[in-house]
Amino acid sequence: MSDRMQISKFAPPIIIMLILAMMILPLPPFVLDILFTFNIAVAVIVLMVSLYTLKPLDFSVFPTVLLITTMLRLSLNVASTRIVLLNGNTGPAAAGHVIEAFGHFLVRGNYTVGLVVFLILVIINFVVITKGAGRIAEVSARFTLDAMPGKQMAIDADLNAGLIGENEARTRRLEISQEADFYGSMDGASKFVRGDAVAGIIIVAINIIGGLTVGVLQHGMSVSQAFNNYTLLAIGDGLVAQIPALVISTAAGLMVSRVTTNQDIGEQLHQQLFNKPGVLGLAGVVLGLLGVIPGMPNLVFLTFSAALGISAWALRASEEGNKEETADTFGQPVSSSAPIEVSWNDVSPVDVVSLEVGYRLITLVDEAQDGELLRRIRGIRKKFAQEFGFLVAPVHIRDNLELKLNAYRIALKGVEAGNGEIQVGQYLAINPGRVLTPLPGIATTDPTFGLPALWIESSLREQAQSLGYTVVDASTVVATHLSQIFQSNAAELLGREEVQQLLDHTAKTSPKLVEDLVPKLISISTLQRVLQRLLEERLNIRDVRTILETLAEYAPRITDPEELTAKVREAMGRSIVQQIFGGARELPVIALDGVLEKLLMQVVQNEVSVLEPGLAENIMRQTHTATEQLERQGLIPALITPPSLRPFLARFLRRALPQLHVISHGEIPDAKIIKVSAILGGSR
| pLDDT tens-digit readout, 516-574 | 898 889 999 999 999 999 999 889 999 999 999 999 999 999 988 999 999 999 999 99
Q: Which residue has the higher pLDDT, 441 or 258?
A: 441
Whether residues 462 and 512 fall in one domain: no
Whether residues 599 and 527 fall in one domain: no
List the CATH number of the domain containing 564. 1.10.8.540
**Beta-carbon count within 10 A of 557 CB:** 7
| pLDDT tens-digit readout, 50-62 | 877 777 777 778 7
Q: Which residue has the higher pLDDT, 606 or 578?
A: 578
Least confident of 26-40, 396-410, 467-481, 563-577: 26-40
pLDDT at 4: 55
Whether residues 519 and 394 fall in one domain: no
Q: What percent of the chain has pLDDT over 70?
A: 84
Whether residues 503 and 469 fall in one domain: no
pLDDT at 157: 67
335 has pLDDT over 70: no
5 has pLDDT over 60: no
Nearest residue to 478 via CA among 402, 421, 401: 421
Whether residues 56 and 170 fall in one domain: yes
Domain membership flag for residue 683:
yes
Domain membership flag for residue 669:
yes
Q: What is the C-alpha to C-alpha distance for residues 149 and 155, in angstroms, rounded to an integer?
A: 10
Whether residues 483 and 502 fall in one domain: no
| pLDDT tens-digit readout, 155-164 | 776 666 666 7
Euclidean distance between the first and the last CA atom of the chain, given in angstroms as a whole number: 79
Whether residues 220 and 303 fall in one domain: no
| pLDDT tens-digit readout, 169-218 | 788 778 877 777 777 777 676 677 677 777 777 877 777 788 778 777 77
* 663, containing H or E segment: strand 661-664
Task: For residue 325, name the pLDDT band (cuts at 50, 70, 90).
Answer: low
List the CATH number of the domain containing 653. 3.40.50.12790
Whether residues 59 and 137 fall in one domain: yes
Please report the sign of the dihedral spanned by the C-alpha atoms of residue 501, residue 506, residue 507, residue 511.
negative
Whether residues 510 and 484 fall in one domain: no
Whether residues 524 and 486 fall in one domain: no
Question: pTM to 2 decimals?
Answer: 0.55
- Across the chain, mean pLDDT equals 80
- Split into its structural domains, the chain has a count of 5
Domain membership flag for residue 321:
no
Whether residues 128 and 170 fall in one domain: yes
Domain membership flag for residue 338:
no
Whether residues 486 and 504 fall in one domain: no
* Residue 535 belongs to domain spanning: 494-571
Cα-to-chain-centroid distance, residue 148: 11
336 has pLDDT over 50: no
User: Length of the chain in residues, anyone?
Assistant: 684
Query: DSSP string spanning 449-472?
Result: T--EEEEE-GGGHHHHHHHT-EEE
| pLDDT tens-digit readout, 474-507 | 989 999 999 999 999 999 999 999 999 999 999 9
165 has pLDDT over 90: no
Domain membership flag for residue 160:
yes
Domain membership flag for residue 332:
no
